[in-house]
Amino acid sequence: MCCVMGYAGHDMTREQFTAYLLRTASRGPDDHRVLETEFGYLGFGRLAIMGVTPEGMQPFERDGSLVVCNGELYGFRPVRAELEAEGYTFRSDSDCEIILPLYEKYGLDMFRHLDAEFAMVLYDARRKWLIAARDPIGIRPLFYGYSDSGAIAFASEAKNLVGLCKKIYPFPIGSYYCNGRFVRYCDIADTPAYNRDDMPTILKNIREKLIAGVEKRLDADTPVGFLLSGGLDSSLVCAIAAKKLGKPIRTFAIGMSGDAIDLKYARQTAEYLGADHTDVIIDKDTVLDSLEEVVAMLGTWDITTIRASVGMYLVCKYIHQHTDIRVLLTGEISDELFGYKYTDYAPSAAAFQAESQKRVRELYMYDVLRADRSISVNSLEARVPFGDLDFVKYVMSIDPARKLNTYGKGKYLLRKAFEGDWLPENILWREKAAFSDAVGHSMVDILKEYAEEKYTDREFAERAGRYTYCRPFTKESLLYRELFEKYYPGQAGMIVDFWMPNKAWPGCDVDDPSARVLKNYGDSGK
């Protein structure tokens, strides 16, 4: 990950701007640079992944125009070759150096041409346009706000803008900003019509498009590792990578010392793939000691996001401290495309599709946020193959009637697509366990018990009543909200709601986000 920041004003010093930028120094530990420009300030913190030489340091400049980008532009090498054939020259091997030539070629339509996950700030010196943009899923974070003088600011994380902007907003996904106006260039969840592919074709496309999504994310100039929970999604990513690389991959799993569910399945998968595997073991003290740091890094008060982030943060912390890995591939986004445990209760195919669209459009506030912060705070980069744009567009176009759980097994299409020698049968067809539960049921229980001990019933009622927006409804949710307000005072609106099953559906009117409370949880926790 890297950190980008821009400010369209001159009412602060270079030193003040730099201090805001360096609040997220862990995102870009290798170098940082601040330029004072005719529009204001532009800053960049670098985590060198592609084109690791000094020439790859941003901002990139071309005829006075400037760009900073936290992103990975997949398939950039053939694009760069085409640009070189057209007369463009490059000084580094960085994928992001092609952005300004592409902008010269396509203008604001450039964003539709990118196969990428990105957040960028660009200055068009010829037209005097300040531009910012974000990828269609929001895998790379970007926030904005306005200073007291009315100047707009952009930054990779909300913490860069606390104190500078009275109100901080997530930058809308699949959108660009140009001179005061936001334009949606892509709604990736929109499905004007479903494809008419037969089942064999659907399974073939799912398999081939996911393989392509993994393969392109293996391109890095630094060591790559894999988070392996032992569940279907991360196991498939690892299986594909192991086949494509043809050598042992490095995998990491995390679990509680007493009751970790996933560790044994992660080991089974790793042994099957011939991976170099590491288990990271945590306990009650480790969980509670990390909680405030987790909320501070996340910038959310959502219950399930915080629960799931504890394990992810701690395994990434281990990887940062004990290995030379810089890039991690993860299994996020599969649930939103193929279904959760709770979508088994979808009353119709149309309802399933509407829920899937809603979740894909909101991912940047939940699982994608979790992955980005847990990984980037440890100076690593996340890559998300299930978020591959071509893959997402295709899966969203499948008739949702085929994705309903009428097969007696969730995510049937994804599982069926990878029958064969990809994974052991018991992993391929294993019931899903939510990550926060799979780390160990005791972890969530520890967090709940800690919150219960922190507040009396009277204290809970009084303190929860202070909040009118998304009022805490359990002592655990109050604990998280108060920690959030300590670091992001008055910014709760950055998150739209609690991540919960759709309470309008039968069987889903529950008061906890864990799948454990659903009647169809079954063998998920075994």
Q: What average pLDDT does this structure show over 344-363?
A: 97
* Distance from C-alpha of 493 to C-alpha of 481, rounded to nearest angstrom: 12
How confident is residue 523, by pLDDT bands cut at 50, 70 and 90?
low
Question: Taking 90 as the threshold, does the pLDDT of residue 439 lie above it?
Answer: no
Question: Taking 80 as the threshold, does the pLDDT of residue 517 lie above it?
Answer: yes
Chain centroid offset of residue 450 CA: 28
pLDDT of residue 399: 97
Per residue in 131-174, pLDDT tens?
999 999 999 999 999 999 999 999 999 999 999 999 999 999 99
* Distance from C-alpha of 55 to C-alpha of 306, rounded to nearest angstrom: 38
The helix or strand, by DSSP H or E, that contains position 381, with its residue range, turns out to be strand 381-383
Question: Taking 70 as the threshold, does the pLDDT of residue 510 lie above it?
Answer: yes
* Distance from C-alpha of 83 to C-alpha of 90, rounded to nearest angstrom: 10
Residue 48 vs residues 56, 70, 80, 435: alpha-carbon distances, Å = 8, 11, 19, 29
Using the Cα atoms of residue 370, residue 375, residue 379 and residue 384 in order, give the sign of their dihedral.
negative
The helix or strand, by DSSP H or E, that contains position 212, with its residue range, turns out to be helix 199-216
Q: What average pLDDT does this structure show over 318-340?
A: 96
Read off the tokens for 156: 């990779």
pLDDT of residue 424: 96
Question: Between 275 and 525, whose confidence is greater?
Answer: 275
Percent of all residues in the chain with a pLDDT value above 90, rounded to a whole number: 92
The helix or strand, by DSSP H or E, that contains position 290, with its residue range, turns out to be helix 284-298
* Distance from C-alpha of 316 to C-alpha of 494, rounded to nearest angstrom: 25
How confident is residue 325, by pLDDT bands cut at 50, 70 and 90?
very high
Using the Cα atoms of residue 277, residue 278, residue 284 and residue 290 in order, give the sign of their dihedral.
negative
Domains and CATH numbers, the chain: 3-184 (3.60.20.10), 199-525 (3.40.50.620)
Q: What is the residue-wise DSSP string for 242-275? A: HHHH-S--EEEEEEETTT-SSHHHHHHHHHHHT-
Per residue in 34-52, pLDDT tens?
999 999 999 999 999 988 8
Q: Which of 34, 336, 385 is nearest to 207 (CA)?
A: 385
CB-CB neighbours of 497 under 10 Å: 11
Amino acid found at 420 = G
Q: Residue by residue, what is the 3-state secondary structure of 152-210?
A: EEEECCHHHCECCECCEEECCCCEEEECCEEEECCCCCCCCCCCCCCHHHHHHHHHHHH
* Distance from C-alpha of 479 to C-alpha of 451, rounded to nearest angstrom: 6
Q: What are phi and psi of 162, to 5 degrees?
A: -65, 125
* Distance from C-alpha of 385 to C-alpha of 359, rounded to nearest angstrom: 17
Q: Which of 277, 279, 259 is nearest to 526 (CA)?
A: 259
Helices 389-397, 349-362: axis angle to 10 degrees equals: 160
Question: Taking 80 as the threshold, does the pLDDT of residue 380 lie above it?
Answer: yes
Query: In the beta sheet, which residues pair with residue 66?
Result: 61, 123
Amino acid found at 360 = V
Question: Taking 80 as the threshold, does the pLDDT of residue 436 lie above it?
Answer: no
The C-alpha R_g of the chain, in whole angstroms, comes to: 22
Q: What average pLDDT does this structure show over 69-79?
A: 94
Question: Taking 80 as the threshold, does the pLDDT of residue 244 lie above it?
Answer: yes
The helix or strand, by DSSP H or E, that contains position 232, with its residue range, turns out to be helix 232-245
pLDDT of residue 33: 97
3-state helix, strand, coil in the chain (%, to 5): 45, 15, 40
CB-CB neighbours of 222 under 10 Å: 15
Question: Taking 90 as the threshold, does the pLDDT of residue 308 lie above it?
Answer: yes
How confident is residue 522, by pLDDT bands cut at 50, 70 and 90?
low
Amino acid found at 53 = T
DSSP letter at 29 equals B
Look up 2 and say whether it is catalytic.
yes
How confident is residue 524, by pLDDT bands cut at 50, 70 and 90?
low
* Distance from C-alpha of 215 to C-alpha of 208, rounded to nearest angstrom: 10
Helices 199-216, 232-245: axis angle to 10 degrees equals: 70
The residue behind tokens 């990578």 is 241
Per residue in 189-199, pLDDT tens?
999 999 999 99
Q: What average pLDDT does this structure show over 278-302?
A: 97
Specify burial of residue 155 (Cβ count, 10 A radius: 0-12, 13-18, 19+).
buried
Catalytic: which of 2, 3, 238, 316? 2
Chain centroid offset of residue 425 CA: 29
User: What is the bridge-based pairing of β-strands 129-134 and 175-178?
Assistant: antiparallel
* Distance from C-alpha of 499 to C-alpha of 434, rounded to nearest angstrom: 13
Q: What are phi and psi of 414, to 5 degrees?
A: -65, -45
The helix or strand, by DSSP H or E, that contains position 73, with its residue range, turns out to be strand 65-73
* Distance from C-alpha of 204 to C-alpha of 191, rounded to nearest angstrom: 20
Query: In the beta sheet, which residues pair with residue 35?
Result: 42
Evaluate whether 398 touches 202 at the Cβ level (below 8 Å).
yes
Q: What average pLDDT does this structure show over 492-502?
A: 96
Q: What average pLDDT does this structure show over 480-491?
A: 98
* Distance from C-alpha of 31 to C-alpha of 11, rounded to nearest angstrom: 25
Amino acid found at 268 = Q
Query: In the beta sheet, which residues pair with residue 168?
Result: 145
pLDDT of residue 431: 81
User: What is the bridge-based pairing of β-strands 3-7 and 41-46?
Assistant: antiparallel
Q: What average pLDDT does this structure show over 119-135?
A: 98
Percent of all residues in the chain with a pLDDT value above 70, rounded to a whole number: 98
